[in-house]
Structure 1
Amino acid sequence: MQRKISNPSLLLFIILVGFPQISETIYTPSLPDIAQHLGASNSMIQLTLSMYFLGFAFGVFCWGRLSDSIGRRPAMLWGILVYAIGCFGCYLSGSVEWLLACRFIQAFGASTGSVVTQTILRESFDGTRRHAMFAQISAALAFTPAIGPLIGGWVDQSLGFRAVFLTLVAMSVAIWLYTWTSLPETRVESTVKISILAVTRRLLTDRRVWGFGFLIGATNGILFSYYAEAPFIFIEFFHMSPGVFGFFGILVALSSIWGTMLSRRMLIQFQAEQIIMSGSIISMVGAISLIVLAVIGIKATLTDLVLMVICIFILLLGISMTIPNCLSLALAHYGDVLGTAGAIFGLGYYVIVSLITSGMSLLHNGTLVSMPLYFLGLTIAMVLVSRLLAQSKVR
């Protein structure tokens, strides 16, 4: 039976889930600039994205677990405070090692916006209503990865890359105040005393949880590996300014909007597992298209730029159809231990995201072929796993 929460607004949900994504992408237009100022290689600077997800992985475990013991609201407020400290540390960083450490702290705090908000949603809605809520929020959040580069590109171009991190400090203060005044407590008291070993055992023996965990990790890994490579492709190869590159991200985000809206409409006639498989296939087609384009030979012309945008559009369209349905289904049978289950599950899939983005940084070689080849391998695996999930649902 659906239990209504104490009216936290949809806007608050969107902000709390969205600010970690903005934090991840806001400084991507500055990556070449940061590498130059800190005297680091492009691959080393790309590792700051992987470090973010590693901190995020440990954060979702800690904050999800903590939300079961002290409550959803306190866990959220403390996490945002830690996030603000990490942002200020990034602003002060004078070396790539310092930046890596502060990115870990920043992500550790930001992760509360993901895991605790998802827990509130899962314990407050069920069935088709839960799928629709995740799809609706995902549609709104499709612009957050684009808002980040847009803001970051113009701030970097006008004030330098350090001002980007100072912008995040100001944003964290505003989010903390909004959360303090608007987020009620939604924890169910009966879920406080939970055995973490028992929950872990349940998750590890659940094949569907493994499948959804891989799909969420792979889709997010592809998405943020793209954001790691995109500045070097569009700024260095196509000679875009950071400001123009930031605006360009909005066009790409339209694929995410369309994908989540399409997913929501398809839920009327199709099961979520079928939509997940369709999205995986579409992403694979996008990866193949990018490979074909790279093999033919890409030049810094408007025509090739448009063709690359179309291929990326197809790739991200499939991803945006897959993610919300996986998030909605993954812990559908863990309503009695949502906070702890979400913490363990989040730790697992964000480790996958970190490993995938690390793989992209290791494969970075200045060519336009490595990224689509990497994405093709990942999307083939996604199609196979989504097929197994669909078959298990039928049985």
Structure 2
Amino acid sequence: MKNPPPIWLMVTLLMFPQVVETIYSPSLPHISQAFWVSFETASQTLSVYFIAFAIGVVVWGRLCDTLGRKKAMIYGLITYGIGAFIALLAGNFETLLLARIISAFGAAVGSIVTQTMLRDSFEGPELGKVFSVMGMGISISPVLGLMLGGAIAQNLGHLGVFSFLLSLSLVLLLLGQCCLSETRPQHLTPVPLLPLAKQMICNGQVMRSATLAALFNLMLFSYYALAPFIFADLNMSSIAFGYSGIALGLGSLIGSLINKRLLSRGWQAVTLINLASILALCGGVGVYLLQSSLAFLLPMVCVVQAFGIAIPNILSQALVDYKQVAGSAGALFGLAYYLMLGAGLALAGVLQNLGLVLLLAAGLTTLLCLLNLKNVTPVLSTKGV
């Protein structure tokens, strides 16, 4: 690749969707009070966010192939900024929901465009190593997001959070315009989405990977959706919830480092995902038993460690057979798992029980792995790792 994108900027942009969501999470109790809505209603903004995010993944992924990677990124960041500005001016909960939808739609570029640019620029073992670095960046996102969000929400309320998000989008817009180069292959011909979607739906490996990605993300983001209210019930502040990001971030970072180490020793992706599923299930049991006290954070660390191990393997290998249509295939893959994630978060909002959500999600990942072993078919190809 003649002009590979700066890795530091790729890490920053891939972290962007998770950081802006975790910054928002500590403000949920403040939003509940400011707009006179229940905890359940306030937490539903997360499920709405990810459904809109899924739609954004498809649109920006498609624009990756038609307009180019850089233009898609810039337009997406502008869209996010518009949503953050509307949220800042929202006078009722309905307007806030609209703002969240626009923000989510724009934030999707940080996921789909960044991954597409990486797949353009790297392949084989090098791509796996790059995604392991991305995984470490994602692992510290909760630390940055929850600590910043907790401090801002405690001192400035939800309006301070929205002001920060607007400022962040402007900074990233400037960096993207100045530092990003175009990575789209010169002779790329966009393919029709419908035939490609049918082909991917019939690909068991792709759909299994999408389901696993959704379930591991559900375990992480259900914490952001439900834990603020657990802390509120324990009479703890938004800042205290923000500090919990340190434990989670360290856990995810340790998981990413373990993943990188085991990959270098020749472990296969399927084995690592099986390991992560078992670890997540153990952590889910612990959270379910301890969520009436702050001790639930200890098993929650096991859950985020599992996330740090599993996600890099899923993302780096899920679309190895679709490199020539990376933008469109990535868009459809993202649509599938973000729609599943949005539905899972909607269910989590109804259940309002973090431990139960984790048990269900981890149980399903473990079941998928067991069925995969029974069929003697790898969840993910390890070719090129």
Q: Distance in 2 between matches of 1:216 and 1:90?
A: 29
Unmatched 5+ stretches in structure 1: 299-303, 365-369
Structure 2 contact 190–325 (Cα < 8 Å) conserved: no
**Pick aligned residue for 2:111 from 114, 126, 147:** 114
Correspondence list, 1:244-263, <5 A: 244-263=240-259
Q: How many residues align?
A: 377
Corresponding residue to 2:239 among 238, 243, 250: 243
Deviation at 1:204, TM superposition (A): 1.0
Query: 2:148·2:242 contact (CA, 8 Å) conserved in 1?
Result: yes
SS of the aligned residue for 1:39 comes to: coil
Equivalent runs, 1:188-267 vs 2, <5 Å: 188-234=185-231, 236-267=232-263
Specify the code of the residue in structure 2 equivalent to 1:392: T
**Counterpart in 2 of 1:178?**
175
Q: Distance in 1 between matches of 2:365 and 2:49?
A: 23
Q: Please point out which of 345, 356, 360 is paired with 1:357.
A: 345
Match of residue 367 from structure 1: none
Q: Which amino acid aligns with 1:354?
A: G
Shift of 1:288: 1.2
Alignment match, 1:103: 100
**TM-score calculated relative to the size of structure 2:** 0.95
Which one-letter code corresponds to 2:278 in the other structure? I
RMSD: 1.5
Between the aligned partners of 2:341 and 2:2, the Cα distance in structure 1 is: 31
Distance between the aligned counterparts of 2:186 and 2:5, measured in 1?
19
Shift of 1:46: 0.4
CA offset digits 1:69-123 (Å, max 9, x no partner): 0100000000000000001111111111111111010010010111011011122
Indicate if the aligned counterparts of 2:142 and 2:248 stay in contact, CA closer than 8 A: no
1:343 equivalent in structure 2: 331
Amino acid of the structure 1 residue aligned with 2:122: F
Structure 2 unaligned blocks of 5 or more: none
Going from structure 1 to structure 2, the CA distance change for 1:5 and 1:230 (only over 3 Å counts) comes to: farther
Given the superposition, is the C-alpha separation of residues 187 and 388 from structure 1 closer, same or farther in structure 2, using an over 3 Å criterion?
Answer: farther
Aligned to 1:47: 44
Quote the residue 1:132 is aligned against: 129
Counterpart in 1 of 2:289? 292
Relative to structure 2, which stretch is displaced further, 238-247 or 166-175? 238-247
Query: Are 2:365 and 1:382 aligned?
Result: yes
SS of corresponding position for 1:143 = helix
Q: What is the SS of the residue equivalent to 1:194?
A: coil
TM-score, normalising length from structure 1? 0.92
Q: Distance in 2 between matches of 1:42 and 1:238?
A: 15
Q: Which portions of structure 1, spanning 4 or more consecutive aligned residues, are displaced by more than 3 angstroms?
A: 387-390
Percent of aligned pairs with the same residue? 36
Deviation at 1:5, TM superposition (A): 5.0
1:12-27 alignment to 2 at 5 Å?
Answer: 12-27=9-24
Q: Which amino acid aligns with 1:181?
A: C
AA aligned to 1:245 is F
1:299-320 per-residue CA deviation (whole Å, 9 max, x = no partner) reads: xxxxx42x32211011111121
* CA displacement 1:186-207 (0-9 Å, x = unmatched): 0013323312122112201100
